[in-house]
Amino acid sequence: MIHAGGAAAKLQAAGGVRSLAFDASTPLQLSSGEALAPLAVAFETYGALNPDRTNAVLVCHSLTGDQFVASPNPITGRPAWWPRIVGPGRPIDTNRFFVICSNVLGGSMGTTGPGTIAPDGLPHSLRLPAITMADAVRAQAMLVEALGIENLFCVIGPGMGGMQALQWASAYPKRVFSCVTVAAAAKQSAQNIALAELGRQAIMADPDWRNGAYLQHGVRPTRGGSVARTSAQLAGLSAQDVRSRFESARTQERFAFNAEGANDTMRQQQGAGFVDRFDANSYLYLSRAMDGFDLGADFGGRLSNAFQGGATRHGVFSFSSDWRYPPEEGREIARALAAAGAEASFLEITSAQGHDAYMGNEPAFEAALTGFIDASAAARGLALNGGGA
């Protein structure tokens, strides 16, 4: 049992997944007014916490990610999802930082979500209350507090992870020394909402969805889940890459309109494997939480009000070919931070890799991120010599 700062949780480990299990006496208060208990938050850590407990970095993952940011996933066998950024000698150097990455609330890798077994012995499925990005951050805060960490040196995340990072800086300004937002926005765009709705409709139209109760029936909505994944991943490519792949598929298939998708190269490439590792109902809950994210709306419609009075240092990064979260949305965050008097920097990285550039080989991004982390570490009084392979 871990006790720290009023939180009490039992550490559990199974199949390579560690989680903190909070019992009914420590419910998670949701934005809807409901309370969620019991709650489990699965997480992974890298590096060591220093004696002053001032070197903790929280990494928030994107929509379909997980907690295995710098090591292979023991369940799926997939490699680490951000190895160029988190690890020994990387911009988030695990030789000097204690890195925490948790599976998001509503996810499907150990944290309480729709696939989790409820107290009645059945999966929550659609009985799980609606969740928000603020709820996800409150669950992370419970984890961080239970680990005995009062203040985070940095919160960083791409996409949906960037939304969580901004929420952290707004909700806990005295507990976040620095915040890095990568290829994200402070408000979900209409285009993203439309794409997510198509994915949700595809899942719910799958006859195996069974009104969300597919686990009880021993099936999964694999076709709908594959379409949802394809929609999300195509949005992660650059426009040029999408056209190139389409042209390649068209050349190979010559109008093979096959409902079974046997010759649908693009869909096979993008959706294969996803439906086996990611719960379809988690996609419904998390994509809906992203669609509802509008940080400024909670502060009278002015985003700058979300950061008033905070002392967090901000680094905002965008990629030129990202049409999911284009650079203009990063500039909007930076303008709001400047208006709030926050110490902030914004950098648009020229890249042809679209939204997914944050996971690719982007030396300019890695160098700039290293510079931001090193400068923040110096301001925090932490040891330098990080970054660079």
- Active site residues per annotation: 322
Instruction: With residue 350 as reference, give the H or E element that holds it.
Output: none
Is residue 174 a contact partner of residue 152, using CB atoms and an 8 Å limit? Answer: no
Distance CA 182, CA 61 (A): 11
How long a stretch of residues is the chain?
Answer: 389
Residue type, 288: R
Is residue 369 a contact partner of residue 91, using CB atoms and an 8 Å limit? Answer: yes
Residue that has been written with the tokens 């700062």 in this structure: 5
For β-strands 313-319 and 176-182, DSSP reports them as parallel
Beta pairing partners, 376: none
C-alpha dist (Å) from residue 372 to 24, 55, 90, 346, 358: 41, 15, 13, 11, 16
Distance CA 237, CA 280 (A): 22
Residue type, 348: E
DSSP strand E in 267-326: where? Answer: 313-319
C-alpha dist (Å) from residue 217 to 170, 224, 277: 42, 17, 18
Quote the crossing angle between the two packed helices 222-236 and 190-205, to the nearest 10°.
Answer: 160
Q: Which of 111, 121, 173 is nearest to 143 (CA)?
A: 111
3-state secondary structure 121-170: CCECHHHCCCCCHHHHHHHHHHHHHHCCCCCEEEEEEECHHHHHHHHHHH
Residue type, 8: A
